[in-house]
Amino acid sequence: MIRAFSHGGGKVREFNALAPAVGEVKAGRHAVWLEVDNPSKGELESVAQALGLHHLTVEDVLDGNQRPKFEDYGSYAFIIARGISGEKADSTAQLAIYLGKNFVVTVNSEEVKGLSEAVRRVHDNPLLLSHGADFVAYLVLDAIVDGYFPVLEQLDDEVEKFEDGLFSSPQGIRSLESLFAVKRKLLYLRKAAWPMRDLLNALARRDFKYVSERNSLYFRDVYDHLLRVSESTDSLRDLVTSAMEGYLSVVSNNLNAIMKKLTSITAILLLPALIAGIYGMNFPDIPLIHGPNGFYYAMAIMAALTAGAFLYAKSRDWL
């Protein structure tokens, strides 16, 4: 699906076809934002041909699994960014951005969280389009970077919940698996967000000629937000590692306590077994064995030794 937005007469002008949108770009009166959602190869090639976009960039867009990057093609810049997927909150989706003198083209094959928010902002305030194509690119990048924060907050809540229950309730293997899942999600987020530093830094430094000095300040703000995302990701990874170490420590302590109790029980049971073994030896003249009270003496000794061993273990907190 292709739709385009432009500013005119104090309101947003919307086009639902490629030809009038390209005509608006060539007229050069206002900045035009072309949103290309889940295009076919033919649709994307038509957009590229109409705006003079290099075929290598089309291949990168169709690949759908590119690393975030910034490339200057002279008359336009080609940007690959990654935002939170609108379909799966624990994964990221690619967003391709073409930034020209008076146009921005965004291409996504799946929903990217924050993109619809940027569209809403443009509709609510049509004057935003009058600030230039680079400002529209800022709106898009700012929205998708901010989309990381709710996911990080959710992961933070999961880790905090695990830590709160670490000492107050028994933790099973499912809890450990959930921690590994959180750590894996954080790794995916970091791999997506961290490389975007370079492209945002390039835009903030005005490495591309169509980024104005005024709007470069906005890209610095997005760069700062991205640093917060990266720092939050690293902090959460450290928390997850600490929580896993704490979990393993609790499991080890519990295992030691169980082994201590089992050892104490074994030692207590060993004493009557020792007496029984002595009186079970094949000797004819064992003391008390032939007396009428021999059995009772043996039982009394067993009971005394067992009780003494039990009280000693209890006093040492082994049981």
Confidence at residue 223, expressed as pLDDT on a 0 to 100 scale: 94
pTM, two decimals, is 0.77
Across 2-7, average pLDDT: 84
DSSP 138: H
Confidence at residue 286, expressed as pLDDT on a 0 to 100 scale: 67
Q: What is the pLDDT of residues 98-114, one digit of tens each?
A: 999 989 999 998 888 88
Q: Are 14 and 126 in contact (CB under 8 A)?
A: no
Query: What is each CA distance from 119 to 4, 30, 122, in whole angstroms?
Result: 10, 17, 5
Q: Of 49, 62, 41, whose CA–CA distance to 18 is shortest?
A: 49
| Cα gap 229→116, rounded to integer Å | 20
| Cα gap 268→265, rounded to integer Å | 5
| Cα gap 271→307, rounded to integer Å | 10
Confidence at residue 169, expressed as pLDDT on a 0 to 100 scale: 58
Q: What is the pLDDT of residues 141-188, one digit of tens each?
A: 999 999 999 999 988 888 888 777 666 655 555 677 778 888 888 888
Beta strands in the chain (DSSP E): 2-8, 11-15, 32-37, 69-72, 76-84, 92-100, 103-108
Cα dihedral sign, 229-240-156-235: negative
Contacts of 207 (CB under 8 A, 6+ apart): 70, 72
84 three-state secondary structure? strand
Q: Which pair of tokens denotes residue 222? A: 């997005």
Domain boundaries, the chain: 2-250, 255-315
Superfamily of domain 2-250: CorA soluble domain-like (3.30.460.20)
CATH architecture group of domain 255-315: Up-down Bundle (1.20)
Q: What is the pLDDT of residues 18-38, one digit of tens each?
A: 888 888 888 877 888 999 998
Within 10 angstroms of residue 161's Cβ, the number of other Cβ atoms is 12
Query: What is each CA distance from 62 to 108, 262, 271, in whole angstroms?
Result: 9, 63, 77
Query: Pairing state of beta strands 103-108 and 92-100?
Result: antiparallel
